[in-house]
Structure 1
Amino acid sequence: MSELYITRTLPQKVLRAAEAHFNVTLRAQTTPLKKGEMRAALVLYDVVIPTLGDMFTADVFEGMDDARCRLLANFGVGYNHIDVAAARAAGIAVTNTPGAVTEATADIALMLMLMSARRAAEGERLVRTGQWTGWHPTQMLGLHLGGKTCGIIGMGRIGQAIARRAHFGLGMNVIYHNRSAKTLDMPARQVDSLEELLSAADCVVLAVPGGGETRHLISKKELAAMRPHAHLINISRGDVVDEAALIAALEGGQIGGAGLDVYEKEPLVPEALRTLQNVTLLPHLGTAALDVREEMGLMAVENAIAHIEGRALINPV
């Protein structure tokens, strides 16, 4: 049987499926791989299933043209932690797990929109610390999202799923900015520029892929273009937002608030963010549901099986 290396513990259903087709080596640690571990994995195994944080940068692939591994079957839809061009140059294919993550990630976006706009995390802390003194008419007034404008940056699968929730679930008007035109199954208006979206939206949701093209897409200039009461939601990749600029905007009351599921130097979250009241912070929960993680893992395994059997890869990137 072919040798498969899995870099983090996956659900039992996924491991059983993998063991039916491969000799599986499961790494016990939950931390990202180090460079030496990545290079060793390429030498020792036929297929590797890496995930977020396993930084397969160009230097990892140096001298690996004759390595045993010919496929990185990434666990996750995002693959900006893998230098795909360098992998291909070394003769190593890369796959991902699109589709499986769409609805669950959109749910987290909607949750962060509501939590940030209605100050839910702040209110929960008030209750837990025993500081709540009871209801009164002007206590913790937030932003009602019904009838407001949701601006979505990135209108792929996840962006569209967020748009459906915002429009049909919350009654929001949806505008979006995307590199190309989209045919949508919901009312939504494409705007010509990022600045136009930022200046019109009451809630801005980031749903773009990670990578060099989107790094610091939202920085000081973009935050200044947002409406003073608007909320910024990021469920894409942490470095899409210039974290220092966001902290400054939140500290200065320049925007209404933010909801984050991802961070620029994850898992490090700056103390300045952690002490602010007007930001909701989640520990990268986007796909954190058992059935979703099982579907992701099974998709990665199916790509690995297709590779070993000489069939076309199911989800090549």
Structure 2
Amino acid sequence: MRQAGRYLPEYRELRKGRTMLEAVSTPEVSIEATLQPIRRFGFDAAILFSDLTVPFTPMGAPFEIKEGVGPVVHDPVRTAADMERIHRFDPREGLPFVLETIRGLKRELAVPLIGFTGAPFTLASYLIEGGPSRDLRRTKGMMWSAPEQWHALMELLSDVVAEYLVAQIEAGADAVQLFDSWVGSLSPEAYREYLLPHMQRIFARLKETGAPVIHFGTGNPLLLPIMREAGGDVTGVDFRITLEQAATLVPGAPLQGNLDPTVLQTNPETVERIAREIVRQGSALPGHIFNLGHGILPETPLENVERLVEVVKGERP
């Protein structure tokens, strides 16, 4: 999760004088940011350096990514009139820099490349709230009180998400991940009524490509069964539940996860102990991709990441 980042000194140097949006919109910078953690740690796959909100501008919702805040949408989408400002787009025309980055990476990488974008609920939360929100009051308010408008927004975002991921696969991404950062604020019942049909449409479209798809959401483990029902080849698990517990909720599903990122801020011995337990639990699953349970934190010591890679790859006795 978020392999590139401020925990790497070479990344901090690369980002000097550049905003996040400038960095993700410049292929040579995005390529270098993607390659840096692969060079340093030898991960088994590379994660595209980008941001889940980049579709906003070509959709007609200009935004910026503020340091220490996150995505900020200049004109939030809250009314039927606001809905008229946003639209579907061809990602090959609206996000050519992302696809150029992927093509460039495929010329240099010796490991698979994972592409990604945000899921409709998470994207909607930024569009409606105007930025990060603790309670998602406006987002859920639209969902509950204006269902027709909500479903119209979900349909639009589902089309955008599906076609953007298809374009990433066509450009060379070996697998893609649908990332639902804020979906944990919903109950399974709300997910079924307000999200499930839209998510199923996305996964049906992606299935046509033949590329593996990871479905990851955070915050509410009780959503795992219905997220599995929605689709995806691999179900992502955050750190709020063990892999063994997750396996009882989605039996037979390959899982991705799920080291708590804060463990990486302790010491190498603690990292090794907890990582070994996750590897042990993962070995009993139909399939397991070892990963963090959310993004790596900026203050993470490099030696802890090095120890983690050694343990997971079986390089430590």
- Report the TM-score when normalising by structure 2: 0.30
- Report the TM-score when normalising by structure 1: 0.30
